[in-house]
Chains A and B, each alone.
Chain A
Amino acid sequence: MVQAPQETDPAALAAEDHALIRRAQAGEEEAFSDLLRRHQGRAWRVARNLVGNSEDASDVAQEAFLRVFRSLERFDFQHDFSTWLYRIVTNLSIDHLRKRRPHLSTAAVGADDEEVELDLPDDEGERPGDALEREETGELVRECIDALAPHFRVVMALRELEGLPCTEIARIVGATHVTVRWRLHRGRKLFQEEWERRERTAASGGNPNEQGGGTPTLGSTAT
């Protein structure tokens, strides 16, 4: 079994991916399973940040690899496999978000309560209230993220979590470099405004979700 690649040379990693794809195209199931295991972590991470819960993220990532397999024979070896995979995952995640009934996902992090608790570090010296506070902060942040339009979320997840450069993100989302930078700029600004608004409301004892009919999707009319 091949785990996530340890090498850091992108060219070497891409070459290894291409070798696996060629073997998979020749009918080697093991090559495809190796390819999947090299990339399943990043596929799940991006989906997790976009769709907001682990179960849906697993479904999205799994469907992404099924689509990869179905289209593998048409893979263009001039491109990196990871770019293609990110594109499929982000498109599926956006489809998922559009199908999902709009709601204020106060339970977005709560849906993973157990996992979050299990994942908390062995908090030597951490006060009992710290974990709770962190969880509450996470819920508040998730609400702000969920309030952003999907095209902002995609760019922010790929940049902030995956650390991809804007040029790479542009290839993934099929937009220009300038558009990606604009979405990143606008997304960070909208997130900060929403985050500060909710913090102020929470500090004053109010309900952060109350602002005359619920939180609209931020930036939904922007490109």
Chain B
Amino acid sequence: MDPIATCDECLDKLPLFVGEDLEDESARRVAAHLKSCGTCRDAEERAVQARATLVDTFELEVKGGGPDLWAGVRAGLVREGVLDGSGAPAPSAPVLVGPWFRRAAGLVAAAAVVALATVPFLPSEDGGEAGLVIGLPEVEGEIDEAPKHPLEPWKDEVAGTEPQDGDEGEESGLIRIQPNDQDWLRLQFEADNPVYSATSSPTYR
């Protein structure tokens, strides 16, 4: 590779060069070009000035810092019933419930739902087949409510809990119960969320 960048390459890389965001080799090639090209040096100067103006404005806007947010946040938590007005957490404060508890609660809830839904379809004495199918791969990707992006919150169809930031949906489980061609029940879980999402065919009971 030529140790000196061309004008086109130099101009293309200037936005990252002026912020020292280029990788070392690219930065060296651009710097070498700038030493010998007055036109590109002019462009570099304009890019430096524009960036400096932006940074100055950013810094001016936040000069002095923001307000102390604790009073407002605390008032919000008291309104939600998470904290009481005396300063101590309310007895039912969710902060007292650890992640292990929610995971366990989720698993218990899931097991209960699966058990209840499965009982009617257990093999009969005359040798009929069970209708329980778990984890059918073909339903993956068909979940309408699944987030398209890791930051996009999940939507709970059953409990309607408010989506929380940090729900990345990376760990999830899927169970499908299908006793016959028409009836099906689909349950979806998140590792850290005891509330499951359930969808079913209109005829499923």
A→B interface (CB under 8 Å): 24-27, 29, 32-33, 36-37, 40-41, 43-45, 48-49, 54, 57-58, 61-62, 65-76, 84, 87-88, 91, 109, 112, 115-116, 118-119, 134, 137-138, 141-142, 144-145, 156-157, 159-161, 166, 173-174, 181, 184-186, 188-189, 191-192, 195-196
Contacts and interface: CB of A to CB of B under 8 A. Distances in A.
Interface in B149-205: 149-151, 164-167, 192
A69 B95 CA distance: 8
A131 to B, nearest CB: 11
Contacts of A145: 54, 57
B60 interface: yes
A29 B83 contact: yes
A127 to B, nearest CB: 18
Contacts of B51: 160, 188, 192
Contacts of B21: 159, 166, 181, 184-185
Contacts of A40: 66, 68-70
Nearest to B50: A192
Contact of A159 (B19, B66, B166): B19
Contact of A134 (B60, B87, B93): B60
Given A49-B61, A189-B15, A91 B151 contact: yes
Contact of A188 (B47, B67, B95, B165): B47
A54 B65 CA distance: 10
Contact of A69 (B63, B77, B98): B77
A88 to B, nearest CB: 4
Given A75-B166, A87-B165, A88-B165, A62 B69 contact: yes
Given A33-B74, A174-B151, A27 B89 contact: yes
Interface in B59-109: 59-70, 72-74, 76-77, 80, 82-83, 87-89, 93-99, 102
A48 B62 contact: yes
A29 B88 contact: yes
Contacts of B88: 29
15 contacts: A36-B69, A49-B61, A61-B69, A66-B80, A68-B165, A69-B95, A88-B166, A142-B61, A160-B54, A173-B151, A188-B54, A191-B50, A191-B54, A192-B15, A192-B46
Contact of B164 (A67, A112, A138, A166): A67
A185 B26 CA distance: 14
Contacts of B73: 36, 62, 65-66, 69
Contacts of B53: 137, 141, 195
Contact of A192 (B47, B59, B69, B167): B47
Contacts of A191: 50, 54
A62 B68 CA distance: 10
B55 A161 contact: yes
A214 to B, nearest CB: 21
A27 B89 CA distance: 6
